[in-house]
Structures are given as C-alpha cells and as structure tokens.
C-alpha cells in the first residue's frame, strides 16, 4: 500500500490556510498514486488550540473543514486530525480525534486515548479520553490508528497512564500503525521519539507511519522529522527537520535500511530558533524586527538569527552607547552589521540619561550610585527602542539568555522589553557554542564579541562575573535544577559547593515575578520558562 505523509506547518485557527494546505496535499498525494494520505494531530485547527476549543464557533469551523475535505477524497483516503464532539452527556464535550475519510464520507472517527498533562501539554483540560478500541479496514488492510501520545506507553510502563492503546488494538491483528502527531521540539526529543517508535515496531512486529507537525506556534516549536519504520524497527524514511515535506511511501518496495538525519544538538537549536522567529512574524503578520545591539554576544546572536529568519533587509539595530560603553563595543557591533548587511543607527543615550538623573536628583539627593542608576540606563534604551518600534512598525526582539532570565539578571521595562524572547531558553554557555558554530567556516560574528568577558556595561569596568558565578559553573547548576529538577541536596551531592547552590537557587526562585512579565520564550530545551514550567510567584521554597 502506498501511503503519503503530509508534514505541514499549520496556523492555529487559520482555517482557510490550513484547509488549502490539506487539500493541496491530498491532490499531490493522489497525483503520485497514494492510496492514503496521513496528516498530523489536530491539523484542521492547528495544535495546540488551547481555549479556542471552548468556543462553539471554533468547533463548527473545524467541522466545516472536514466537510470540505470530504469533497476531495474520490480515489484516496485521508486521515486527518480534528476535534470532534462527544455525543454523550458525561465527560468532556470534545475528543481529540482522527477522521478517516474516503470516497466523500467519514468512514471512522478514532479518538485519542492518552491525554498528556505535563510540561507544555494540557489536553485533559479540553478532551475526553477514548475508552473503546477499534481499527480501520481499508482496501484489505487492517490499520491501527493512534494519535501522538498513544504510542508512549509501551508495555504499560509509563506511570502517567493505566492503559496501553496498542495492547488493546493488537487483538484486532492490525498490519500497520498510522500515527498522527504534534510532538514539540526540544534538543533531546528527536532521539527519544525515534527510540519509542522503533521500540513499538519491534515489540508488535508491525510497521509504523508517523506524521509529525512542523512549524512554530508562538513559543512551542515543532520540528517535523516524520518517520516510517518497518516491522523490524528499522528507520526506512526520515523526513526533513524544520521544513514542510510531502512524500509517498511504499514500504513493500523499500529496503530496510537504517536512515538517520544526523544533526548536532547545537545545529538543532540554531534551526529551531530561526524557524521560531520566522513563524512568529509570519503568523502574526509582522514584517520587521528591531533590537538593541550592545556589542555583546547575546544581541549579536539574536541579530544573526533574525537576519536569517526574516532577511537582512527586515532587521534594524540601534547601538545605544552610554558613558560606560567601551569603544570596541561600538566597533564590534558595527562590524557585525556590516558582515550581515543589516542596517543600524547609533543613538547615544548620554543626554537622555542625564536628563533623567537631573529630574531625579532632588529626590535621590546624595544617595550613592547603585542599581537604580544602572537600571535607568537599560530603561532609557528600552524607551528609545520602543519609540522606534511604534514609529516604524518594528517588533522588538528581546536578547536575554536563559542564564540571565533564571537569576533575574535583567531590567524590567529595559533590556527585558520585547515581543519575543529569542534566547530565553538558551543558556549563556550555549550562546557561546552557537556563535562558534556559526563561525565554523568564516568569521560572521566578530571574534572579539565571542572572546571578551561578558558585561552589561552599566558602570565602569563592570563584568557579569562581578555579580554572578562564572557561566560554566552557573549553567551546570541551573540545568540540574530547571531541566532535571534536582534540589539542593542532590546538587550538593553532585559536588557543587553548598553556599553556591543555595545562592543560585534562591536567585532563581525569588525572580519568578520578573519572568512572568517577560515576552514569550522560544522553547528549545526539555524545560523552558513559560507555559511548561509553572512555579508560584509568592512561593517560599528555597527563597
């Protein structure tokens, strides 16, 4: 049987665009001789639709798309994801479903059984879990249809669930598994997915066609990487990452060869961030970006990524030197703009900053220079950047990295301003890795930006290490605490100094209130700040 996988980039709630993509893919698959075309989870409305699902009009529009798809299924079957109504009185109003459509009719609706409620997922809020099991029979083939998480409880060993959908489906002796998925990206997840799918194929001795979504939905990035795996657990087809792709697969005519698209973790992060920026702007109908370019490594990396995502002509920088800015910070920033071909303006903040100080002097009187004057510089820059944003229609990109966001090393309404936090899930040490990887063939980011000690340049001779532990140590502690959920006892047992552990964890917890006022953060790690990490602001733990 020839099955097409349509790995597409959907736009949540944009039914016109999503319908066109789906219909075009059906016709392409049909022209290439496919008998079934497989789409991803909730493709009709885009994933995750969240509280849009609570609107009757939204569900009706989903049903209208299904009616439209039916008109294009002569000679081909379509398996597409959409919410469906629960006709029973008890339970949630909706199912997360897969519609099997052929010859102009909905032949079967299969519901998702395992509804994840961890990290970025909150499906149990909206959907009723499936409790009955059946397969699809088409052209003499018995097909087990599963939706994303349904394959993630192999052997019923996942403590989050009490049922294994595939164990239930195997009683019908299916000949293949078709899986509709919306599996978000993180730099560890591609291999995890591959391992789980191969393990399912090996355990049940059945081939798997796995179609994943691609594209960014605000902070959540989907990487694609759809897979076809034979009954022995061999990967026979692996789709592109971070790109749309439609391909027809005839498993019976394919060699059982191990095919892997190998990427470095840092390359995955690079590609994900570019897709995240591009989709955020396109789906929000934004055109141009602006950022404050300090001559430091974070803003340099954001400028590079934005230029790749949006085109160099659509990115503008402001160089906003103060009396504490070094001359090489300006020259490094200028050189970067020349290397990338992006436009910039130099707008010194000295006069603006002094005007603020003069206004505040009667109240500050003879109090010593401290964080108030430092933050005033950052907020002066924020005012100027937002003025350019309003006047010229730019969207301000935030350049704060995850290390800084974690410990509160940023100024609200200053360098924490922006419409999108590009590096908020990228640790400082990873920022250095990314810049070195970008420069692997030629110097794009000036070497001096990478090698000089990080500094906010808000007072004479300031260095980040004056206020923070060295980043190579800090990031290890942060990673263990945030991603691995290791508490102080575990961290100290790993060999970190107790006083340092307590200091760092206290900074993380006591700055939760700041992070709640941050722009949305592009998620690239297994545990990002934002929707996937829900901490109380006023909690006392370790504070």
Given this model, what pLDDT does residue 459 score?
Answer: 67
Given this model, what pLDDT does residue 260 score?
Answer: 54
Quote the domain boundaries for residue 220. 2-262
Is the residue at 542 inside a domain? no
User: Which one, of 483, 454, 477, lies nearest residue 467 by Cα?
Assistant: 454
Given this model, what pLDDT does residue 254 score?
Answer: 64
User: Residue 21 catalytic?
Assistant: no
The residue assigned the tokens 């200028």 is 334
- Same domain for 373 and 230, yes or no, is no
Structural domain ending residue among the three candidates 462, 488, 522: 462
pLDDT digits (tens, 9 = 90+) for 18-61: 999 999 999 999 999 999 999 999 999 999 999 999 999 999 99
Token pair for 483: 């991603």
Given this model, what pLDDT does residue 463 score?
Answer: 76
Given this model, what pLDDT does residue 407 score?
Answer: 96
DSSP assignment of 395-411: EEEE---HHHHHHT-S-
Given this model, what pLDDT does residue 262 score?
Answer: 59
- Same domain for 287 and 255, yes or no, is no
The dihedrals phi and psi of 156, each to the nearest 5 degrees, come to 55, 40
- Same domain for 238 and 299, yes or no, is no
- Same domain for 237 and 283, yes or no, is no
Structural domain ending residue among the three candidates 415, 431, 462: 462
CATH number assigned to the domain comprising residue 409: 3.40.50.620
User: Which one, of 320, 412, 407, lies nearest residue 372 by Cα?
Assistant: 412
- Same domain for 297 and 379, yes or no, is yes
Taking the model in full, what pTM does it have? 0.95
User: Of these residues, 35, 41, 128, 237, which one is catalytic?
Assistant: 41
Number of CB atoms found within 10 A of residue 467's CB:
12
Given this model, what pLDDT does residue 208 score?
Answer: 97
- Same domain for 115 and 177, yes or no, is yes
- Same domain for 234 and 278, yes or no, is no
Is the residue at 424 inside a domain? yes
Block means of pLDDT (10 residues each) for the chain, 543 residues, are 97 98 98 97 98 98 98 97 94 97 98 96 96 96 98 92 96 98 94 95 97 98 96 94 95 60 84 98 98 96 98 98 80 97 97 96 93 94 97 97 96 95 98 97 96 75 80 97 96 97 95 95 97 90 66
- Same domain for 289 and 325, yes or no, is yes
- Same domain for 230 and 365, yes or no, is no
8 A C-beta contact, residue 217 and residue 8: no
Structural domain ending residue among the three candidates 231, 262, 293: 262
CATH number assigned to the domain comprising residue 115: 3.60.110.10
8 A C-beta contact, residue 387 and residue 417: no
User: Residue 108 catalytic?
Assistant: no
- Same domain for 136 and 253, yes or no, is yes
The dihedrals phi and psi of 363, each to the nearest 5 degrees, come to -100, -40
User: Residue 337 catalytic?
Assistant: no
User: Of these residues, 112, 198, 283, 402, which one is catalytic?
Assistant: 112
Whole-angstrom Cα distance, residue 7 to residue 214? 6
8 A C-beta contact, residue 117 and residue 89: no
- If one counts the domains in the chain, the total is 2
- Same domain for 254 and 292, yes or no, is no
Is the residue at 485 inside a domain? no
- Same domain for 205 and 306, yes or no, is no
Given this model, what pLDDT does residue 541 score?
Answer: 75
User: Of these residues, 148, 164, 211, 435, which one is catalytic?
Assistant: 148
């Amino acid at each position: 049987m020839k099955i097409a996988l349509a790995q597409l980039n959907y736009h949540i709630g944009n039914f016109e665009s999503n319908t066109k993509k789906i219909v075009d893919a059906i016709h392409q698959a049909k022209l290439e001789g496919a008998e079934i075309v497989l789409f991803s989870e909730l493709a009709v409305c885009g994933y995750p639709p969240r509280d849009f699902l609570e609107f009757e009009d939204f569900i009706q529009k989903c049903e209208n798309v299904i009616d439209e798809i039916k008109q294009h299924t002569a000679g081909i079957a379509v398996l597409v994801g959409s919410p469906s109504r629960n006709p029973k009185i008890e339970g949630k109003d909706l199912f997360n479903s897969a519609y099997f459509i052929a010859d102009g009719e909905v032949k079967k609706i299969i519901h998702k059984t395992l509804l994840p409620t961890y990290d970025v997922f909150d499906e149990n809020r909206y959907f009723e879990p499936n409790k009955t099991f059946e397969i699809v029979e088409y052209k003499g083939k018995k097909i087990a249809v599963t939706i994303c998480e349904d394959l993630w409880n192999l052997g019923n060993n996942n403590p989050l669930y009490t049922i294994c959908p595939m164990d239930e489906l195997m009683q019908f002796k299916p000949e293949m598994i078709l899986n509709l998925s919306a599996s978000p990206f993180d730099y560890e997840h591609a291999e995890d997915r591959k391992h789980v799918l191969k393990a399912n194929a090996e355990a049940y001795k059945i081939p798997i066609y796995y179609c994943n979504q691609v594209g960014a939905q605000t902070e959540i990035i989907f990487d694609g990487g759809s897979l076809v795996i034979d009954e022995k657990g061999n990967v026979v087809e692996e789709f592109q990452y971070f790109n749309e792709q439609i391909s027809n697969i005839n498993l019976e005519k394919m060699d059982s060869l191990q095919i892997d698209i190998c990427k470095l973790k840092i390359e995955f992060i690079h590609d994900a961030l570019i897709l995240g920026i591009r989709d955020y702007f396109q789906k929000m109908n934004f055109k141009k970006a602006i950022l404050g370019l300090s001559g430091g490594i974070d803003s340099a990396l954001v400028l590079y990524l934005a230029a790749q995502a949006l085109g160099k002509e659509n990115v503008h920088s402001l160089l906003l030197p103060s009396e504490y800015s070094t001359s090489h910070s300006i020259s490094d920033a200028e050189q970067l703009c020349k290397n990338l071909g992006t436009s910039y303006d130099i707008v010194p903040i000295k006069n603006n900053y002094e005007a603020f100080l003069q206004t505040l002097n009667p109240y500050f009187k003879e109090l010593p220079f401290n964080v108030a004057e430092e933050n005033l510089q950052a907020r002066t820059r924020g005012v100027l950047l937002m003025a350019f944003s309003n006047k010229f229609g730019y969207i301000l990109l935030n350049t704060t990295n995850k290390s800084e966001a974690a410990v509160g090393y940023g100024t609200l309404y200053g360098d924490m301003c922006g419409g999108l936090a590009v590096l908020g899930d990228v640790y400082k040490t990873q920022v250095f890795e990314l810049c070195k990887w970008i420069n692997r063939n030629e110097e794009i980011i000036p070497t001096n930006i990478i090698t000089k000690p990080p500094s906010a340049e808000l007072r004479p001779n300031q260095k980040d290490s004056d206020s923070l532990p060295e980043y190579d140590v800090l990031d290890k502690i942060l990673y263990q605490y945030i991603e691995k959920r290791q508490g102080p006892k575990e961290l100290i047992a790993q060999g970190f100094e107790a006083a340092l552990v307590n200091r760092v964890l206290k900074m993380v917890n006591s700055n939760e209130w700041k992070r709640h006022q941050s722009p949305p953060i592009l998620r690239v790690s297994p545990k990002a700040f934002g929707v996937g990490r829900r901490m109380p602001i006023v909690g006392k733990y370790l504070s």
